[in-house]
Structure formats: C-alpha cells, structure tokens
Amino acid sequence: MILMEINLRDLALRFVLGGASVALCFILLQILPWKIFAGIFAAFPAVMIAAVVMAGYFGNSELAAEVTLGASAGMMGCTVCVFTAAFCMQHLNRWGLSLSLALGAWFVSSFVFVYLMQHFLAGRRVGKSGRAAP
C-alpha cells in the first residue's frame, strides 16, 4: 500500500511538472518573438526534478545524487535526439521522417549512455565499499 502511494505521488509530480513544461513552452511560443528561446523550456528537466524529489524525500541525499548521475546519461541521449531532429528538419525538410530518425537516434544513443553510466556507478559503488572495508 505504501509502495502504491509512493508511485502515485511520483506519477502525480511527474504529470504536473511535465504538463507545466509543455504549457510554459506553448505560452512562450505565443508571446515571445524568439521561438528558439521558447524551445529551451521544451527541455526543462521536469523528470529529473521529480526523480530527485522522490529519491530525496523517501530515501536520502546520496540516493538523490546518484539519480542525477543516471539522469545525466539519459539527457545525453535526449541531446542526440534533439540534435538529430533539428539537423534532419533543416536538411531533409520532412517533419515526420525527422522525428522518426530522432527517436531512433535517441534509443541507440541512450542505450549506450545508460550502459556506460551504469558501469560507472557500479564501479563507484565497488570502490566505496572497498574503501569502507577494514
């Protein structure tokens, strides 16, 4: 029951932050003449904030810090995705195809970055437990 409550709070927080980011991006697109600047809010780290709040609230600061390192790997994959989308839209001039290629680039690059980060975090944990041993 407690786990269910945690999940619902987690999902509610993610829903509000994700929805607010897209809504803010929409408002800025309507009122600002600089559309690129408005696009910055399409990358607001809403998911990371929710994950850190949940890890900090129900765990501790060390767990929350580890969550941010995991999130940075995912963000690198998202950067590849967005770069591919911008590049393809500029050069292929096809909206749907550009988004499809961007999603493919996101999946492959995220897999690699997450794999590398998991190995880094596992190595760090082994290093810490090794140092802690008498």
Looking at 69, 116, 122, 126, which residue binds other proteins (CB under 8 A)? 69
Burial class (CB in 10 A: 0-12, 13-18, 19+), 91: exposed
Compute the least distance from the CB of residue 76 to other proteins, in Å: 6
Rule CB under 8 A: is residue 62 a binding residue for other proteins?
yes
For residue 117, the one-letter residue type is M
9 lies in the binding site for other proteins (CB under 8 A): no
Per CB under 8 A, the list member of 30, 104, 120, 123 interacting with other proteins is 30
Which of residues 5 and 38 has its CB atom nearest to other proteins in the complex?
Answer: 38
Report the nearest approach of other proteins to the CB of residue 47 (Å): 6
Q: Shortest approach of other proteins to residue 5 CB, angstroms?
A: 15
Helices (H), ranges, the chain: 2-31, 35-39, 46-58, 61-91, 95-132
105 binds other proteins (CB under 8 A): no
Q: Is residue 99 classed exposed, middle or buried when 0-12, 13-18 and 19+ CB atoms within 10 A define those classes?
A: middle
Q: Does 100 bind other proteins (CB under 8 A)?
A: no
Burial class from Cβ neighbours inside 10 Å (0-12, 13-18, 19+) for residue 54 reads buried
